[in-house]
Amino acid sequence: MAARRVVVTGLGLVTPVGVGVQQSWSNLISGKSGIISTLTIENLTDIERAQFESIPSQVVGKVPAGSIADGKWNAKEHKDAIKDFRRTGLFSQYALVAAEEALKDANWLEDLDEKSLLNTGVAVGSSIGSFEDVYKNSVDFNLNGYRKVQPLFVPRLLNNMASGAISINYGFKGPIHSVSTACATGCNAIGDAMRFIKDGYCDVMIAGATEALVHPVAISGFARAKSLVTTYNDQPEKSSRPFDKDRSGFVLGEGAGIVILEELEHAIKRGANKIYGEVIGYGLSGDGYHITAPDPNGDGARRAMLSALRTAGISDSPEKIDYINAHATSTQLGDRAENLAIKSLFGFKKNELFVSSTKSSTGHLLGAAGTVESIFTLLALSEGVLPPTLNLNNVGEADGDNKSDFIFNYVPNQAIKRDIKYALNNSFGFGGVNASLCFKKM
Ligand SMILES: *[C@@H]1O[C@H](CO)[C@@H](O)[C@H](O)[C@H]1NC(C)=O
Ligand SMILES: *[C@@H]1O[C@H](CO)[C@@H](O)[C@H](O)[C@H]1NC(C)=O
Ligand SMILES: *[C@@H]1O[C@H](CO)[C@@H](O)[C@H](O)[C@H]1NC(C)=O
Ligand SMILES: *[C@@H]1O[C@H](CO)[C@@H](O)[C@H](O)[C@H]1NC(C)=O
């Protein structure tokens, strides 16, 4: 039996640069930033404002509030996607809305018969689930006791509820999965779903990840771990600057990305609207090194990329890779380690290899980063435009960088038109998890 091939036939996005794929992509390639000051979030209570003011990092990648007509977020406009607001945490709401867009895009929504429903699975992950509900119920319990804990606390909280809600909303009855591997979640969700299809569990998977962690306690946690930027509170749009001299920590972001993965023959036979690209490789590795810091030479990242090339069947021709959507979160150590890892595999390509980090526009969506950035990578393949790395004025000149290691084209500040055929997308997470996906233009 010939190996089953897996392609992407639908996309859906809710991101700090917009709600909807068109809105997010056009803002991204025109160099707009989705990063704002936490003090300008709409309708903060006085207490919340004081809490945000007390945190040294005051920038965040927030899904913009407003009407869907302007590519912004108003949950009430999504009554078809979000059937029951009381049971649905914000992270699940983002996933439901992105899933609806992706299903419509793939034309895999109308008049599905029982066989099709049984043949469709869901794999949507999150790194933390509904943090806001944990906070609220803990505070209420502490102040007022047992009877103040919400009966819907648990269903709103669980990480797998985004997958569950999508499956229940549409009646999908294939495999249900929910991976949680910190910042590699979205990458693992796509990779695992791709394996399910390849192994014949089903022909269609709704895959992706979602995160809604813009909360003072969550931001405090990352700030206390010294992971967040604190030097650009007055200029939020300049705060995320991967590979730049003045990078000094990441910007927390929120949102969701969902893709429809489909077995190639299935997609062709039913006349899918569009094939954005093929998922040809999926690499995984562990650092075995430290809970939050990367191996300084990027060894785990190197092995994940190598494994993606190997499963893609192109490990003997790495020159094929034209573009890498880097994990680069704008931390000194992480960006440097990833750059060294890329150099160890692709150094011979020098500035013929394009490497950009869209976190400069969106911030770091944690679990959702893997899918959102995979979607940007697929659009780069299908549209022939490479998204820019914003705020990149002095490449590789931070303390500890060796400028001569930064040899690639990092697409500084402006998108570049370029037809590409193969792309890699990297994701690395706390706990030493590294994952990489390889996509090919059809
Ligand atoms: C803020 O409050 C106004 C007035 O109640 C409301 O119209 C708007 O939707 C709110 N915005 C958000 C983001 O909740
Ligand atoms: C794509 O690149 C982004 C950058 O982090 C990364 O977070 C994401 O995990 C990558 N996606 C995949 C599928 O590797
Ligand atoms: C910087 O890297 C270059 C090339 O890899 C190497 O020759 C040089 O010794 C390095 N410089 C320092 C200060 O490590
Ligand atoms: C591999 O995963 C670990 C998990 O923390 C991450 O810290 C590290 O950044 C990744 N490796 C590299 C070189 O990025």
Q: What pLDDT is stored for residue 433 in this prediction?
A: 64
Residue 435 host element (H or E) = strand 433-440
The CA-CA-CA angle for residues 325, 391, 368, to 5°, reads 40
What atom in ligand 2 is closest to the CA of residue 435?
14
Helices (H) and strands (E) in the chain, counts: 14, 15
* pLDDT tens, per residue, the chain with 442 residues: 578 999 999 999 999 999 999 999 999 999 999 999 999 999 999 999 999 999 999 999 999 999 999 999 999 999 999 999 999 999 999 999 999 999 999 999 988 999 999 999 999 999 999 999 999 999 999 999 999 999 999 999 999 999 999 999 999 999 999 999 888 899 899 999 999 999 999 999 999 999 999 999 999 999 999 999 999 999 999 999 999 999 999 999 999 999 999 999 999 999 999 999 999 988 877 766 666 666 777 787 888 888 888 888 888 999 999 999 998 999 999 999 999 999 999 999 999 999 999 999 999 999 999 899 999 999 999 999 999 999 999 999 999 999 999 999 999 999 999 999 888 766 666 655 666 778 888 8
Instruction: Provide the 3-class DSSP secondary structure of residue 386.
Output: strand
Tell me the C-alpha to C-alpha distance, in Å, between residue 4 and each of 201, 280, 405: 11, 11, 39
Q: Which of 404, 406, 407 to mutate to test the pocket of ligand 3 (most atoms within 8 A of CB)?
A: 404
Q: What pLDDT is stored for residue 426 in this prediction?
A: 66
User: pTM value?
Assistant: 0.92
Q: Which of 6, 181, 187, 188 to mutate to test the pocket of ligand 2 (most atoms within 8 A of CB)?
A: 187
Same fold, 7-270 and 281-440: yes
Instruction: Write the residue with the smallest CA distance to atom 7 of ligand 3.
Output: 404
Architecture of the CATH domain 281-440: 3-Layer(aba) Sandwich (3.40)
Cβ–ligand 3 distance for 404 under 6 Å, the answer: yes
Q: What pLDDT is stored for residue 304 in this prediction?
A: 80
Give distance in angstroms: CA of 374 to centre of ligand 2: 6
What atom in ligand 3 is closest to the CA of residue 403?
1
Residues with CB under 6 Å of ligand 1 are 42-43, 65
- Phi/psi of residue 389, nearest 5 degrees: -100, 110
Residue 114 host element (H or E) = helix 114-118
- Per-domain residue ranges for the chain? 7-270, 281-440
Instruction: Write the residue with the smallest CA distance to atom 10 of ligand 2.
Output: 370
How many residues are listed for the chain in this entry? 442
Instruction: Write the residue with the smallest CA distance to atom 3 of ligand 4.
Output: 432
Residues with CB under 6 Å of ligand 4 are 287, 294-295, 298, 300-301, 334, 337-338, 341, 428-434
Q: What pLDDT is stored for residue 178 in this prediction?
A: 96
Quote the CA–CA distance of 251 and 254 in Å, as a whole number.
10
Quote the CA–CA distance of 85 and 198 in Å, as a whole number.
35
Q: What pLDDT is stored for residue 437 in this prediction?
A: 77
Q: What pLDDT is stored for residue 368 in this prediction?
A: 93
- Look up 202 and say whether it is catalytic: no
Instruction: Write the residue with the smallest CA distance to atom 6 of ligand 3.
Output: 404
Give distance in angstroms: CA of 12 to centre of ligand 4: 27
Task: Centre a 10 Å sphere on the Cβ of residue 312 and count the other Cβ atoms it contains.
Answer: 24
Q: What pLDDT is stored for residue 427 in this prediction?
A: 64
**Proximal ligand: closest to the CA of 214:** 1
Q: What pLDDT is stored for residue 434 in this prediction?
A: 63
Give distance in angstroms: CA of 429 to centre of ligand 4: 6
Q: Which entry of 183, 187, 202, 438 is annotated as an active-site residue?
A: 183
CA atoms within 13 A on the CB side of 100: 18
What atom in ligand 2 is closest to the CA of residue 325?
2
Give distance in angstroms: CA of 105 to centre of ligand 4: 34
**Proximal ligand: closest to the CA of 72:** 1
Architecture of the CATH domain 7-270: 3-Layer(aba) Sandwich (3.40)
